[in-house]
Chains A and B, each alone.
Chain A
Amino acid sequence: MIWLRALVAMLIGAPVLVGVGLTLAAAWGADWTKVLALPGLWGGLRLTLITGIGATVLSLALSVPLGLWIMGRPWAARWLAPMLAVPHAALAIGLAFLIAPSGWFGRALAQVLGWAVPPAWPLPGDPYGAALVLGLVLKELPFLLLMTLASASQVDVTGQMAVGRSLGYAPGRVWARVIWPQLYPGLRLPVFIVLAYGLSVVDMALILGPSHPPTLAVQILRLYTAPEMRQAEASVLAIGLVAMTAALAGIWWLAERACTAFGLMALRRGRRGIARRWPGSVVMAAQGGLFVAAMAVLALWSVTGIWRFPDLWPEGLSLALWARGDWIAVALRSLWLGLASVSLALTLAVAVLEGEHRAGRPLRLGAIIVAPLLLPQIGFLQGLTTGFLWLGLPAGPLAVIWAEVLFVFPYVLLSLGGPWRALDPDQLRAAASLGAGPWRQLWRVRLPLLARPIAAAAAVGFAVSVAQYLAVLLPGAGRVATLTTEAVALASGADRRVAAVYGLAQAVLPLLAFALALALPAYGRGGSGGRAP
């Protein structure tokens, strides 16, 4: 299987390495005094640390009690996947429409308090990045909850909870002291992904974050696109962001040790705690409510005629902006880019899993697979674009698809890997005893049996593809306009209604993919049942 490892290394590992390498090379000749004197550098650094670490810690901290709450409520867990599917940018635009002084909340208060002009609260874009943290938490909390549930399926939670309670511990204590620590190893990778994402997010930071100064990632993007030759300075900061992410991951790892030791000390003390009614439903309602309200306000703005402050509802509704249809071509481009990158990623993932199955052992791809998720995107995508140019791959759709595969593949592989490895080997053995060769087994048994997980993995990959911003902007040289790049650009335009059209289309596309993934295999499996040997 050496060729398979080489293929993954070339398609996924090499671009990341080349990207970081060329960024490093571009940073080499930079004038350090100029970099360190950049206005807003230190403010941006502080802001990046506050928002990146804040969003990660807050999401994780909320996911602990909420994980317990949601374990017993499968109906609530069903809301997690759609919230995961909505892209960061669409949520950010909707959230901005909610929390701005002239947003829905401000309008509601104006009805009560009789305001004629919007209040002077500094949202979004407050100097502390609170709006950005809120946006990030709203997106990352469902992700961490889903990962908690996945991790919990490996542990006898019911039995251990019964033991803990029979020893006199309140449920929250049992969860926090003995059960959650067993789930954490399964959460470590997701947490690092959340941390790296929070430190380097650009699209959400452009919409919800402060602009004076903005986060480091936004400053880097601005330097990359500045008219003067500032690639070197941008590259220095990009490498700095990579180093900072690595350092923070190290600090996080140390903090983990400390928390484990501290947790063990507390556990040995044997305090039982009292059962508090943890307001899980309040937090979950806030999470779900903000999400639904953000989507609703997007939908409403997209069909608004005129909507003045402090009116709670638009004066008139109009489908004019949808009827213009300019969004259709862009949506179709997002669609086919998504289909292309998901097809590639899915093929590669099936090849890796099948290769692993035939080799009878893991392929030891290790960090290659998740490296694109653990590094700040802005740390290697500009270098990668230069690398593509040297390869003779011009900036455009092909470069975008390759860049997207870097982020789609890990998610597809991670979500398909579990069901693939858990497939009952007896069924394959039965097929083998009937004389089916390995290829026939793959095509006629394994893939049809896994139709549902494959569709789910494809939907996850598609959502990841649709949401990409930098991976489209930089390798596409701005020539590839997707729903995400358009929505982010329009979010700083004068017409909220146009931004809402693109934002809503961006949110709906992956939701449709999820709905399709739920609907299709039920039909497909019925059809394949007769064909399976």
Chain B
Amino acid sequence: MTLELHDLCLTAPGAAAPLFAPLSLRIAPGEIACLTGPSGVGKSSLIAGIAGQLPRGFVLSGQVRLNGRDLLALPPERRGVGVIFQQALLFPHLSVGDNLAFGLSPEFRGRTARRAAVSEALERAGLPGYGARDPATLSGGQRARVALMRALLAQPGALLLDEPFAALDPALRAGMRDFVAEHLRAAAIPALLVSHDAQDAAVARQSLAIAPLGAGG
């Protein structure tokens, strides 16, 4: 599993020039790459573009390959790319356990097997026995961990993280960074993290700063 970006260019709606210079990157399995840059440079849109969920009007050119497979031609749900958003975006009407069960790959078959997979994920997230809880009763950090577990249970081929720690208390961020790094390594998939916080780059094997093209702002 390798995620490759070739000459990626993102153009905002109605703009003539791309937001930043063409971007190329190769991320090996278990490796985290970090893109940093000022807000407004198009980091989140780049993540959305790779995931296939660009807002209307944005244009993404270049190539994205996962294990040699071209992703940009595929609909989002078939790209095999998990996304962690700034907000945990847990489904508020589902219990924590059902949020995870919804994420869990269909390759786990049978009710008992699936239930076991969910409780194991909860344990790994440090939230044993939280299955029946309402997500609204969780702390921000707990929610972020559930969101990560939910994404990983879907067994994605790569993971994209869009400012995953921005919504967290500064005190929690370090712990969360370690948590993410540990689980990504265990899952052995490439991950791309974007952040405006230079400290987040610490978890990454490679780190790249992107700057806006021209005199934008």
Q: A169-B77, A264-B98, A268-B114 are in contact. Are A163 and B105 (CB under 8 A)?
A: no
Q: Are A162 and B106 neighbours in the complex by a CB distance under 8 Å?
A: no
A170 within 8 A of B: yes
| B62-114 with Cβ < 8 A to chain A | 75-78, 80-83, 85, 87, 89, 91-94, 98, 101-106, 108, 111, 114
Inside 8 A of B85's CB, which chain A residues have their CB?
Answer: 159, 162-163
B154 within 8 A of A: yes
Of residues A163, A271, A272, which shows the largest number of chain B Cβ atoms within 10 Å of its Cβ?
A163
Inside 8 A of B83's CB, which chain A residues have their CB?
Answer: 162-163, 166
Question: A270–B117 Cα gap in the complex (Å)?
Answer: 12
Inside 8 A of B148's CB, which chain A residues have their CB?
Answer: none
**A188 to nearest B CB, angstroms?**
14
Q: Are B82 and A166 neighbours in the complex by a CB distance under 8 Å?
A: yes
Q: A159-B89, A162-B53, A181-B93 are in contact. Are A168 and B77 (CB under 8 A)?
A: yes
A270 interface neighbour in B76, B87, B102, Cβ under 8 Å: B102
Q: A159-B85, A178-B94 are in contact. Are A272 and B106 (CB under 8 A)?
A: yes
Q: Mark A378-413, 1 if CB is under 8 A from B, else 0.
A: 000000000000000000000000000000000000
Q: Are A182 and B93 neighbours in the complex by a CB distance under 8 Å?
A: yes
Q: A163-B83, A163-B85, A168-B154 are in contact. Are A267 and B98 (CB under 8 A)?
A: yes
A165 within 8 A of B: yes
Q: Mark A244-281, 1 if CB is under 8 A from B, else 0.
A: 00000000000000000000100111111001000000
Inside 8 A of B51's CB, which chain A residues have their CB?
Answer: 162, 165-166
A177 within 8 A of B: yes
Q: Give the residue name and chain of the B residue nearest to A161 (CB).
A: B53
Q: Give the residue name and chain of the A residue nearest to B84 (CB).
A: A166
A156 within 8 A of B: yes
Q: A166-B82, A167-B154 are in contact. Are A270 and B77 (CB under 8 A)?
A: no
A171 within 8 A of B: yes
B52 within 8 A of A: yes
B102 interface neighbour in A159, A162, A170, A178, Cβ under 8 Å: A178
Inside 8 A of A159's CB, which chain B residues have their CB?
Answer: 85, 87, 89
Size class of the A contact interface (CB-based, 8 Å) = 20 to 34
**B164 to nearest A CB, angstroms?**
13
Q: Are B77 and A171 neighbours in the complex by a CB distance under 8 Å?
A: yes
B114 interface neighbour in A156, A166, A181, A270, Cβ under 8 Å: A270
Q: A166-B51, A167-B154 are in contact. Are A270 and B94 (CB under 8 A)?
A: no
B150 within 8 A of A: yes
**B134 to nearest A CB, angstroms?**
14
Inside 8 A of B82's CB, which chain A residues have their CB?
Answer: 166-167
B151 within 8 A of A: yes
| A118-176 with Cβ < 8 A to chain B | 156, 159-160, 162-163, 165-171
Q: A162-B51, A163-B89 are in contact. Are A270 and B151 (CB under 8 A)?
A: no
Q: Are B94 and A170 neighbours in the complex by a CB distance under 8 Å?
A: no
The prevalent SS among residues of A at the interface is helix
Q: Give the residue name and chain of the B residue nearest to A179 (CB).
A: B91
Inside 8 A of A165's CB, which chain B residues have their CB?
Answer: 51-53, 75-77
Q: Are A166 and B106 neighbours in the complex by a CB distance under 8 Å?
A: no
**B184 to nearest A CB, angstroms?**
16
Q: Are B114 and A178 neighbours in the complex by a CB distance under 8 Å?
A: no
A182 interface neighbour in B48, B92, B102, B156, Cβ under 8 Å: B92
Q: Are B91 and A271 neighbours in the complex by a CB distance under 8 Å?
A: no
Q: Are B81 and A166 neighbours in the complex by a CB distance under 8 Å?
A: yes
Inside 8 A of B77's CB, which chain A residues have their CB?
Answer: 165-171, 272, 275
Inside 8 A of A272's CB, which chain B residues have their CB?
Answer: 77, 106
Inside 8 A of B89's CB, which chain A residues have their CB?
Answer: 156, 159-160, 162-163
Q: Give the residue name and chain of the B residue nearest to A170 (CB).
A: B77
Question: A177–B93 Cα gap in the complex (Å)?
Answer: 11
Inside 8 A of B53's CB, which chain A residues have their CB?
Answer: 162, 165-166
Q: Are A267 and B106 neighbours in the complex by a CB distance under 8 Å?
A: no
Inside 8 A of A268's CB, which chain B residues have their CB?
Answer: 98, 101-102, 111, 114
Q: Are B103 and A167 neighbours in the complex by a CB distance under 8 Å?
A: yes
Inside 8 A of A166's CB, which chain B residues have their CB?
Answer: 51, 53, 76-77, 81-83, 151, 154, 156
Inside 8 A of B150's CB, which chain A residues have their CB?
Answer: 167
Q: Give the residue name and chain of the A residue nearest to B108 (CB).
A: A270
**A461 to nearest B CB, angstroms?**
33
Question: A181–B92 Cα gap in the complex (Å)?
Answer: 11
**A312 to nearest B CB, angstroms?**
41
**A324 to nearest B CB, angstroms?**
52
Question: A171–B111 Cα gap in the complex (Å)?
Answer: 24
Inside 8 A of B87's CB, which chain A residues have their CB?
Answer: 159
Q: Mark B136-153, 1 if CB is under 8 A from A, else 0.
A: 000000000000001100
Q: Are A270 and B105 neighbours in the complex by a CB distance under 8 Å?
A: yes
Inside 8 A of B102's CB, which chain A residues have their CB?
Answer: 167, 177-178, 267-268, 270
**A267 to nearest B CB, angstroms?**
6
Inside 8 A of A168's CB, which chain B residues have their CB?
Answer: 77-78, 80, 105, 154, 156
Q: Are A271 and B52 neighbours in the complex by a CB distance under 8 Å?
A: no
Question: A169–B154 Cα gap in the complex (Å)?
Answer: 10
Question: A372–B108 Cα gap in the complex (Å)?
Answer: 51
Inside 8 A of B94's CB, which chain A residues have their CB?
Answer: 178, 267
Inside 8 A of A156's CB, which chain B residues have their CB?
Answer: 89
Question: A160–B80 Cα gap in the complex (Å)?
Answer: 17
**B77 to nearest A CB, angstroms?**
5
Inside 8 A of A264's CB, which chain B residues have their CB?
Answer: 98
Of residues A156, A165, A181, A270, which shows the largest number of chain B Cβ atoms within 10 Å of its Cβ?
A270
Residue pairs across A and B with Cβ atoms less than 8 A apart, 25 shown, are A156-B89, A160-B91, A162-B48, A163-B83, A166-B51, A166-B82, A166-B83, A166-B151, A166-B156, A167-B82, A167-B154, A168-B77, A168-B80, A171-B77, A177-B102, A178-B94, A178-B102, A267-B98, A267-B101, A270-B101, A270-B102, A270-B103, A270-B106, A270-B108, A272-B77
Known contacts A163-B85, A163-B91, A267-B101; can you find 6 more A-B pairs with CB under 8 A?
A168-B154, A170-B77, A178-B91, A270-B103, A270-B106, A271-B106
Q: Which residues of B are in contact with A by a Cβ distance under 8 Å?
A: 48, 51-53, 75-78, 80-83, 85, 87, 89, 91-94, 98, 101-106, 108, 111, 114, 150-151, 154, 156
The 9 A-B residue pairs whose C-beta atoms are closest, nearest first, are A166-B83, A165-B76, A268-B101, A167-B154, A165-B77, A270-B106, A163-B89, A162-B53, A159-B89
